[in-house]
Chain A
Amino acid sequence: MNETHNEDALPGARAVIRQYIDAVRELIAVLAISPTPFADGEQSWTVRTFLAECERLGRLLAQAGMSDCARAVANLERAGADLPSEESVRDIDAALTFLRARLHDVVAPGASTLQGSADDAAGVSADDLRSALEVPAPGAEDQDISGATAADHTGTDMFGGEDMSGGADERDTFDESQFSAETLAMIRAFQQSTLRRRAPGEVTPISQLVPADVMDEIPEHLKRAFLLEAGNDLATLRALIASFGNMPGDSDDLRTMAQIGHKVKGTAATYEFPVLAEVMYCFEGVPRVLHPVATERAADCLNVLIRFADVIDVALQEAHNLGDATAERLDEALMLVANARTIALPPDSSAAKPMAVPTEVPPLASEGDGHGQSSAHIPAHRILEEDFVRVEPRELDGLMHESDGLAMNRSVLAQTNDEISHVQSEIEDVLARLAALSTQLSELSRMARQSRELARLDGDALPWPSARASRGGAVAGNEFDLDMTSSLDESLRSLSEAVVDVTALHGGLTSLIKRMARNSEAQQTVLHGMQQTIIHLRLVSLKSLSDRLTLAAHSVAQIEGKQVEIIITGRDTEIDRNISDALVDPLMQLVRNAVAHGIESPAEREATGKDPTGKVWLHASYSGNEVSIEVGDDGRGVNPHQLIAAAVSARIRRPEHADYLTRDQALDLMFEPGLSTTEKAGVIAGHGIGLDSVRTAIQSLRGKITVQSGQGRGTVFRIRVPISLSITRAMHVRVGADMYAIPLAMIQHMFSLAEPGILVSLPDAEQRTPSARFPRRVRIARSAPEQPLRRPDDPTAALYDEVPVFSLAELLGLEERPQTSHTALLVDAGQRQVVVLVDEVFDESEVVIRALPEHLRRRAVRGASIMSDGRLFLVLDLADLLTDALDSKSIVRVPPVSLPERSRDRPALVLVVDDSISMRRALEKTFAGAGYDVRIARDGVEALGMMMAELPDVMVLDVEMPRLDGFELLAVIGANETLAQVPVLILTSRAAEKHHRQALELGARGYLTKPCPDEVLISNVQRLLRERQIQS
């Protein structure tokens, strides 16, 4: 070991040491994440790498004169080789504690104890270490792709002046004679690897640090563990950014952000996510750059940080899905760094004009257009946690405690069972005695008969024995009597004893049964507790979600030039992790809408006497088994008349139907797809594609969303979602012989169709109201009559709602039978109320929903549950059932249409309707090739919509299709005079004669079976077109 050094040689050597220290530190982190040291009897990859690193680090530390660290590493190495013994774990702990302190002093940013710890290192002065670690390499500015100057990384500001980029000093020279050949070889290797890098922030991956014989492929689970950790770091980062937004002058937040960036950068490189590492490298310098202007340009700084967090979020998702972040993410990161540097320039600088940086939130790959498209965007830390559930030790303790309770109860049950067996054995004894007694009594009976016979033979009719004794009867007779009496007494005594025994046994059994009942109750309590605990394990607080929402609101406010105060309460409200994930997009959309459209500009607000700073709030709270979330603003509110006008204009509502809309119903139009009252669509909102996605997402969570708004007073959305999807409160109903449970959240009211005063009889087939297209409907009197906004002619319109009626049997596709039930449930089907008829309604109760195996899952079935008597039943999702019913029913009756005539000059229009993509494409190609104009539809519903828009000349129709099949479509268009003009050619795989006949009966003009040669197909179409021409 060489204890004396040439001072010039130190920087280069220490650069190498630092690389090793980084590697060991990462391995320590890996061991902390994945402590299992051995796999299949061999040392794991982690441990082997760890030991190899320890060995090399120990040698280098010794050569560098840091003998105390070298000794600690030697201890670490020795202990690591002995894993997993308890002693080795203790030794590792001790060595790690020492090394952590020393490594922190040497490497960690802002090392306050640098002087002291360096002084402890024999042969190395603090100044040497400081200079080795902090002096930038000449020309570092040229290398820095982010454009940051050396001062950004090395300044003596609050960041402690340490260069966190790593590798900036790799061009240092040193005296080769001071090092052994092996060390020199390693130093050269490192220099080569670092010199070739284009970014100074790049950290050498473990695979480059560790010889090939030691290095295996990095296990996938370790990569995932890193990404999980990084996701959590991102959540922390967002919380810090939110905190910075509240107190821009707080340098601690910026410092911690940089530390997080540095940590993730290093680990990402170690785990071979080079692009992600570069993104993080870009980020880690940004807090330093922004720090000097954090207070005076707080909004700009916040904006950059928010956007950077989003970029990191997407980068993490990409790393999870694609193996690493994409170059696009790095480009965005570099632009944001440039923007940060522009913000930090002095105001009078000629370069003060910001660079071309996107002014909106960076496009997140999974967010569609980022503004309300229904998407699967889930925060990175959520995606990454799919395979993990973080459990607090106290929760595990609770579970263990409950498990102990179960075990204790089990032992009590076993003891009770033993006692019952004992009672059973005693009952068997008594039974045996009773059997013997029975024999004895039979014998006595026989003796009695004999005695009576003897008496009869003696001619003595007197009763014995006294009579015979008085007559001086035989001694034998007396003895006989005595025997009988004695036997009888004995039998009676035995009987009495048996009765006493049975009574005692009955008492014992009763007591045991009571004990069993108590045990059963205790068991139920413990099981319920366990169930609650386990459900609780999946719950997460809305805190991380609220941070994202705060950032989103700030970001939008800045883009829109508005002043907004974000108020979030109930952050600690907990909800199932899956539900929390699924709420991200809807809530984000609502908050963006609130800021972009709800809140007015400061000038507008002042003009109307409002505070120039608008308020957007999110309140979360529990409501029974549900979580209630309110997203509101005190902005301009929504004009329901405008909504109605927009709905009519967009052909979402017919004018005559719109007349009947109440205020709430009009506001509900906000959730209709394609409806927007915003004159100018922006990047934030206004495309009319947001709120319908919000409602769809909430409904998919078995939740509900309502809206209230007052002009000039703001808008409030109220969302209710279950805390967990596995437990719900439901009403039990019977249909035929089957029981079902319907979640209470869907049921508004229960009543009988025969109930007077509530219902009016079925109306006639007027085409007046929105519900008129349904064959069966009822009028339900409104409890609080609300006048429709447009005040139609019908004076009774305010008194009732007209609601379609379905039977549950019909919805479930059960066997047809006469509907005799009058038991009705008024159900909230999202867009409208629906009455569902069932045979009987029972009590409501809390049901635990068990998912069916994948192959048994069916539409509208949430799962199964079990009654207290052991009977199984299905838990239904009525919304799903009714959505389809309302969709298909809504197009069954098509009003008369008058369609524009198609120009005779154009080629004939062929409408191809088939649910198979390949078939649609093939047919489209065939007909287009033959010179026809072709339209394609996926099913009957889509075809009908297209026919309504433009009448085709001929239709080629498949039979088996979702939603509305070919036969159903034939029936629908056959009932409409205009649509019936279109000749239909059936093209199906159904070859049976009965199907052929059915199609022709329904009005088809031709029937072909697949596969069908093109020429046959085209000749049939030509035939139909000729026939149509002749007819017209």
Chain B
Amino acid sequence: MLNTPQQDEPKHSSSSSGTPPLNLSQLLALARAQTIDEQSDALEQPHRAADSVTPPTGDPYLLFTCADVACAAPLTHFREVLPTLPTTVALPFSPSWVLGFFAFHTDLVGLVDPAPFLFADPEMTGISRARARNGRIIVPGLAASPNNALRQGAPESGPTAVVVGVGERTLALAVSSVGDIAYMGKDDLDTAPVLTAPARVPVERFRAGSFTLRDSQPAYQVLKINALLDTLLDSLMSVEARSHE
């Protein structure tokens, strides 16, 4: 079964019983309220935040786009989704897909553009090195339409990075945007290889299959993140070796 978390209709209540305590910004909003409606809005804010979500079924997949291709991968493969592209330090003697490295908690983690590997096109770039270097560029995300699978009110991010792997074998992958989490059963995955691609698709060794949330939408390409990670790390090691020649 394929689904996304469904929201109930907002439950408005005038009763103060069970109302979450107001925080500072809400108090300020209340203090600044000029009209009854504004005061009412300010008082309703906590209720809206506390609305319940029905539990989904299936395995969670993170939806994201890489070089404008809709992709997905099991959520368990990701260590963290960064809010924006991190500010990186350039690494000398590295190819263009190595965007640099940054401090991730207590580790130093490389940021790479997986697009040239995913699509077997050395010329392809998902994120430019200059953008990665500057970091913290917040590009307004596309507001999700009510018809798509993304949670309403939670727009896709701008370019950012997802962290995969453990220990020394950790990398951050630069992606165009990160969307919502979709829950998918095993039967939903179409594992047939793409013979004649109408659009750009990842190479088969990094592709587990695809699925579609809505008929009208393009398919999400489900990635083999671990295979991609291994390839990227191997390539980085060979770059490292060449830099010492």
Contact = CB atoms under 8 A, between A and B. Distances in A.
Interface of A: 424, 427-428, 431-432, 434-435, 438, 737-738, 812-814, 850, 852-861, 864, 866, 870-874, 915, 962-963
B24 A856 contact: no
B89 A864 contact: yes
A136 to B, nearest CB: 60
Contacts of B237: 854-855
A739 B103 CA distance: 15
Contacts of B242: 962
A915 B28 CA distance: 70
Interface stretch (B91-99, B180-188, B204-212, B217-225): B91-99
Interface string B232-243: 010011011011
> 6 shortest A-B CB distances, which residue pairs?
A435-B31, A962-B245, A855-B236, A859-B243, A812-B92, A858-B243
A682 B40 CA distance: 98
Interface string B119-160: 000000000000001000000000000000000000000000
Given A859-B93, A874-B91, 10 more contacts: A438-B31, A737-B133, A853-B107, A855-B237, A858-B92, A859-B244, A860-B92, A861-B91, A870-B103, A873-B89
A856 B101 contact: yes
Contacts of A962: 242, 245
Contacts of B233: 855
A428 B27 contact: yes
Contacts of B110: 853, 855-856
A874 B108 contact: no
A447 B24 CA distance: 30
Contact of A872 (B92, B103, B240, B245): B103
B90 interface: yes
B230 to A, nearest CB: 11
A424 B168 contact: no
Contacts of B168: 853-855
21 contacts: A431-B31, A432-B27, A435-B30, A813-B92, A853-B107, A854-B168, A855-B110, A855-B236, A857-B240, A858-B91, A858-B239, A858-B240, A858-B243, A859-B93, A859-B244, A864-B89, A864-B108, A872-B89, A874-B89, A915-B245, A963-B245
A505 to B, nearest CB: 13
A872 B86 CA distance: 12
Contacts of B94: 858
Nearest to A442: B34
Interface in B144-202: 168, 170
Given A854-B240, A872-B102, A738 B90 contact: yes
Interface in B1-51: 24, 27-28, 30-31
B134 to A, nearest CB: 8
B92 A852 contact: no
B239 to A, nearest CB: 8
Nearest to B245: A962
A425 B8 CA distance: 33
B93 A813 contact: yes
Nearest to A851: B108
Contact of A856 (B31, B87, B103, B236): B236
Contacts of A431: 24, 27-28, 31
Nearest to B167: A853
Nearest to B168: A853
B244 A434 contact: no
B89 A861 contact: no
A853 B169 CA distance: 8
Nearest to A857: B240
Main secondary structure on chain B at its contact with chain A?
mixed
Main secondary structure on chain A at its contact with chain B?
mixed
Nearest to B88: A872
A872 B108 CA distance: 10
Contact of A855 (B27, B92, B240, B245): B240
Given A432-B27, A435-B31, A438-B31, A856 B243 contact: no
Nearest to A431: B27
A428 B31 contact: no
B199 to A, nearest CB: 27
Contacts of B101: 852, 856, 864, 872
Contact of A866 (B24, B87, B103, B170): B103
Contacts of A872: 89, 101-103, 108
Instruction: Name the residue in A438, A813, A856, A873 with the highest tally of chain B Cβ atoms < 10 Å from its Cβ.
Output: A856
A866 B103 CA distance: 9
Contacts of B90: 738, 814
B26 to A, nearest CB: 10
Interface in B60-114: 87, 89-94, 101-103, 107-110
A516 B237 CA distance: 43
Contacts of A435: 27, 30-31
Contacts of B243: 858-859
Instruction: Name the residue in B24, B89, B133, B239 with the highest tally of chain A Cβ atoms < 10 Å from its Cβ.
Output: B89
Contact of A858 (B31, B87, B93): B93
A850 B109 CA distance: 12
A871 B90 CA distance: 13
Nearest to B21: A428
Contacts of B102: 872
A438 B245 CA distance: 73
A639 to B, nearest CB: 39
Contacts of B109: 853
A180 B94 CA distance: 77
A431 B28 CA distance: 7
B29 to A, nearest CB: 10
Contacts of B91: 856, 858, 861, 874
Contacts of A861: 91-92
Nearest to B129: A815
A408 to B, nearest CB: 22
Contacts of A814: 90, 92
Nearest to B233: A855
B27 A853 contact: no
B232 to A, nearest CB: 9
Nearest to B133: A737
Contacts of A737: 133
A963 B168 CA distance: 30
A813 B102 CA distance: 20
A432 B31 contact: yes
Contacts of B170: 853
Contacts of A850: 108
A202 to B, nearest CB: 46
A855 B236 CA distance: 5
B107 to A, nearest CB: 8
Contacts of A860: 92-93
A915 B242 CA distance: 12
A858 B93 CA distance: 7
A963 B244 CA distance: 10
Contacts of A428: 24, 27
A427 B94 CA distance: 52
Instruction: Name the residue in A850, A855, A860 with the highest tally of chain B Cβ atoms < 10 Å from its Cβ.
Output: A855
B146 to A, nearest CB: 36
B108 A852 contact: yes
Contacts of A873: 89
B240 to A, nearest CB: 5
A428 B243 CA distance: 58
Contacts of B239: 858
A291 B166 CA distance: 61
A434 B170 CA distance: 51
Nearest to B102: A872
Nearest to B106: A850
A856 B108 contact: yes
A819 B19 CA distance: 64
A580 B217 CA distance: 65
Nearest to B232: A855
Nearest to A856: B110
Contacts of B244: 859
A434 B240 contact: no
A431 B104 CA distance: 38
Contacts of B27: 428, 431-432, 435
